[in-house]
Amino acid sequence: MSIAFLLCIVILLGLAVMGMPIAYAILVASFAYLAASGQSIGISGKILLDGLYQSFILLAVPLFIIAANIMNAGSVSDRLLQFCVALVGRFRGGLGHVNILSSLVFSGMSGSAIADAAGIGKMIIDMMVKSGHYTRGYAAAITAASATIGPIIPPSIPMVLYALVSNTSIGFLFLGGIVPGLMMGAMLMAMNAWISHRRGFAKHEPVPLREFPALTINAGPALMMPAILLYGIYGGVTTPTEAAAVAAFYALILATIFYRSLSFKHFYEILVTSARSSAAVGLIIGGALILNYIVASENIPTVVANALVDLDVHPLVFLLGINLLLLVLGCFLDASTIILVIIPLFIPTCRALGIDLVHFGVVAVVNCMIGLITPPYGILLFVINAVTRIPLAEIIREIWHFLAALLVALLLLILIPDITLMLPRALGYAG
């Protein structure tokens, strides 16, 4: 490990601690390394261009962001919410179940936890608080916890980023996330049911059965999006990137023609917002590409892999140790940074220990999503605080039960790889 690399790490950590956005901190630290090691700063341009030209799948990120923003902007979210209320609102703690179910449904359209929390999440929080049966903190906490499911059930922006750094099939990653996502939802529903009975939450007024067909038809076109995406990818009709374009176009058709809830002015605002979000992700990706070049130049992944293999670490012990590390890092770093900068260090070790990369990828993404609700950083907690003005202290006070439920789900995923791999293997995955 060279002095230039140590300088890079010190600058990166120092700038991050001082509060500089992580993308800028990575770029400044990377440029410092290139200068200290005697390399031209211009090489960073070549690294970026090579990375972009060789990673066509990255185009899926802005397309999924646009699809999610269109779904949030039109009346699609309202129709999905009405469908979920009719389905599970009648049970004790029903609006809590509605919250979780709506996240499960919306996850099949957005691929983003933040899009879930900021969009449909705000509506369900208002419904829960206005009902008079739930505290503001509880409504916000269950919304933050359920939003973590968004990037697990396909489509998934974090899984696209993981596929970029691991050279793993995005299609099999998407398939691998379906059962874990459903299991996370079941865990959260079980916790909500237990708390609801313990605190005596009232039931929501049942929706008459005669209204079910109309509500289902109303929400049906939106519910079709995950099926269209999965059929396109696994039926050989589209690549994952083309499927993202189909998702964005389908969302646009729903909002403008089918539901007629999106004006041209609003659509322009969506494009601007999506461009800003895509640029933010793009800066992190650009910095990560340069930093990964530096890490590879220093041969860090091979050194780490050889050191762990020489220690004769059992694959399960390795997985548990890495996930504990990712949980700690998730308290301070955002998911994109962990996936693009930290996880690539351990992929060679996974290969050497015989750990399936689809299993590792899904587990790592679930772990990163749990980090989104883990104090003190917990970006989803800040997002919900920003859109609802509910004090952060109230949200954190109620988040612990749901955090525990998600940690149990994560442990099961680590211990039982078949939970993740059953669907990919059923559709031809050889891992």
Close Cβ partners of 118 (under 8 Å, ≥ 6 residues apart): 72, 383, 384, 387
What whole-number distance in Å separates Cα of residue 63 and Cα of residue 244? 6
- 273: which DSSP letter? H
Q: In sequence order, what DSSP letters do the residues of 7-36 get, joined into one string?
A: HHHHHHHHHHHTT--HHHHHHHHHHHHHHH
Ranges of H-type helices in 254-391:
264-297, 300-310, 315-330, 335-337, 347-353, 357-371, 379-388
Reduced to 3 states, what is the DSSP secondary structure of residue 216? helix
Q: What percent of the residues of the chain are helix, what percent strand, and what percent coil, each to the nearest 5?
A: 80, 0, 20
What whole-number distance in Å separates Cα of residue 217 and Cα of residue 239? 29
The closest of 82, 159, 71 to 109, measured between CA atoms, is 71
Q: What is the pTM of this model?
A: 0.78
Q: What number of other Cβ atoms are within 10 A of residue 42's Cβ?
A: 9
- Cα distance from N-terminal residue to C-terminal residue, the chain: 34
The closest of 204, 194, 199 to 130, measured between CA atoms, is 204
Q: What number of other Cβ atoms are within 10 A of residue 359's Cβ?
A: 23
What whole-number distance in Å separates Cα of residue 147 and Cα of residue 107? 8
Close Cβ partners of 359 (under 8 Å, ≥ 6 residues apart): 176, 417, 420, 421, 431
Q: What are phi and psi of 331, to 5 degrees?
A: -75, -15
Residue 353's identity, in one-letter code, is L
Burial 336-357 (b: 16+ CB within 10 A, else e): bbbbbbbbbbbbbbbebbebbb
| Residue 161 vs residues 198, 202, 263: alpha-carbon distances, Å | 41, 42, 32
Per-position pLDDT tens, the chain of length 431: 688 888 888 898 888 778 788 788 888 998 998 888 888 888 888 877 777 766 666 777 788 778 777 876 656 767 777 777 777 766 777 778 878 887 777 766 656 676 666 666 767 787 777 777 788 899 899 988 998 988 898 878 888 889 888 888 888 998 999 999 999 999 999 999 899 888 877 666 777 777 778 877 777 777 777 777 777 776 778 877 787 788 888 888 888 887 777 788 888 888 888 888 788 778 877 887 888 788 778 877 777 767 766 667 788 999 999 999 888 888 777 788 888 888 988 898 888 888 999 999 999 999 999 988 888 777 788 778 877 788 888 999 999 999 999 999 999 999 999 999 999 998 888 87
